[in-house]
Amino acid sequence: MPLLTGNLVLPYEVCFGELAIADGLISAITPLGTPQPDAPLILPGFIDLHFHGLGPYSAEDPRTLLDMAAFAPQVGMTSFCPTLAPTPWPDQLAYVRQAKEAALVQHAGARCLGTHLEGPFIAPAAKGGMNEDFLRPASLDDLRALLREADGTLRLLTISPELPGALDVIAEAVKHGVRVAIGHTHCTIDDFQKAVEAGARQICHLFDTFEGRPVHGGVSQTCLTDAILIEDRVDVEIIPDGHHVQPGLIELTHRAAGTDRIIAITDAMMGAGLPDGVYAESDGRPYRLTNGDVCRLTDGTGTIVGSCLTPHIAFQNLTKRFGFSIPEASRMLSANPARALSLHDQTGALQEGLWADITILSPDHTTVSRCLVSGKTAFANDDAMT
Ligand SMILES: [Zn+2]
């Protein structure tokens, strides 16, 4: 029975101990004492529900999804939802159809949980870095076409609720087991609340593509992000790269929403985890990736199109830059996304009976030493092992 020894990151504490694995599952957890300074950090594997690329791979190219899955354990990722921003409509249908294979077939590396469609039912006014040519009005027929192609593998749909017909699309998607996120929106608070009533339960990268606070007659108004923070039924995605969301807003989110409503995402682009350089979106538009900064279009506008964050850097940022405890950061990167997709009985925590999907960091937390999926080593960095 394989045994891991180190500082175990449990949901609400860290302790030194042993973790046993049998038949791909965590079979026993044995606490042995207080954390040891020179021991590796053993965490539940990181789960990213929202990213567009990783390493040399685009998550928007279904032909390389399995290669990306094999790469993902290098950054501590054990499960993921490849995310597609709007592309020409026939390509979106083909993407969902082809990505289904990655979700259903046995493969090496991280688990592909199914597709996240960030669009195409997005309000042009809030498109952010999306290509406006490929946005579509909210349409039940279009949704049903996507559901048919996905055949149960569409996990997450991001939509602007102010579009005519959006509430019907939300309700229909939820009926088919799809998690619905609200985002890329300038909707009213009333629109937002109707979307929640229709079943939306998540917010796409809170604060990014959202409008600021309106002032009428010299009086500050309650704005959409305020309403989101105090609506307990929705979880909020946060990009913890230090650029997409100001540290003060992360603290505000934590105080208002609490740790367990925050889902850390990377929203990363192809090139994340690689050196600085110019890469291209799936529609061919080039962007510059600058590590420690963000990805920006090179068309002179400097529009942000995504991050160069990886989950293990997100963990470091959450703990070292934003002041979260290790268990809190871990929940944002594992337990909370698992729960969002109703997978908390399978993964997202170091708990007996769950999949042995485990990320091990070096004692200083800077390096992924080893990553296991279903108890099998999917990545091992011998240099980092101590
Ligand atoms: Zn995105």
Q: Do 81 and 156 meet the contact criterion of CB atoms below 8 Å apart?
A: yes
Ligand 1 center from residue 32 Cα (angstroms): 41
Q: Helices 140-150 and 89-104 sit at what angle, rounded to 10 degrees? A: 30
Q: Do 285 and 353 meet the contact criterion of CB atoms below 8 Å apart?
A: no
Q: Are strands 115-118 and 154-159 parallel, antiparallel or unpaired?
A: parallel
Ligand 1 center from residue 268 Cα (angstroms): 8
Determine the average pLDDT of the residues in 95-109. Answer: 93
Q: How sure is the predictor about 386, in pLDDT bands with cuts at 50, 70 and 90?
A: very low
Determine the Cα–Cα distance for residues 317 and 244; give it in Å rounded to an integer: 13
- 286, two tokens: 């080039």
Check pLDDT > 70 for residue 122: yes
Q: Are strands 179-182 and 154-159 parallel, antiparallel or unpaired?
A: parallel
Check pLDDT > 70 for residue 383: no
Determine the Cα–Cα distance for residues 114 and 173; give it in Å rounded to an integer: 14
Ligand 1 center from residue 87 Cα (angstroms): 13
Determine the average pLDDT of the residues in 202-230. Answer: 94
Ligand 1 center from residue 49 Cα (angstroms): 10
The pTM of the full predicted model, rounded to 2 decimals, is 0.96
Ligand 1 center from residue 118 Cα (angstroms): 6
Check pLDDT > 50 for residue 287: yes
Check pLDDT > 80 for residue 12: yes
Q: How sure is the predictor about 384, in pLDDT bands with cuts at 50, 70 and 90?
A: low
Q: Do 225 and 206 meet the contact criterion of CB atoms below 8 Å apart?
A: yes
Q: Do 329 and 13 meet the contact criterion of CB atoms below 8 Å apart?
A: no
Check pLDDT > 60 for residue 357: yes
Determine the Cα–Cα distance for residues 235 and 376; give it in Å rounded to an integer: 31
Check pLDDT > 90 for residue 304: no
Q: How sure is the predictor about 99, in pLDDT bands with cuts at 50, 70 and 90?
A: very high
Render pLDDT for 261-284 as a digit per residue (tens, 0 to 9).
999 999 999 999 999 999 988 778
Ligand 1 center from residue 207 Cα (angstroms): 13
Ligand 1 center from residue 244 Cα (angstroms): 12
Determine the Cα–Cα distance for residues 171 and 377; give it in Å rounded to an integer: 40
Ligand 1 center from residue 375 Cα (angstroms): 30
The domain 45-345 having CATH identifier 2.60.40.790: the answer here is no
Ligand 1 center from residue 51 Cα (angstroms): 6
Ligand 1 center from residue 3 Cα (angstroms): 37
Determine the average pLDDT of the residues in 47-59. Answer: 96
State residue 382's pLDDT score: 73
Determine the average pLDDT of the residues in 17-42. Answer: 98
- 339, two tokens: 């729960």
Ligand 1 center from residue 37 Cα (angstroms): 37
State residue 1's pLDDT score: 65
∠ CA 76-104-85, nearest 5°, is 65
Ligand 1 center from residue 364 Cα (angstroms): 30
Determine the Cα–Cα distance for residues 346 and 342; give it in Å rounded to an integer: 9
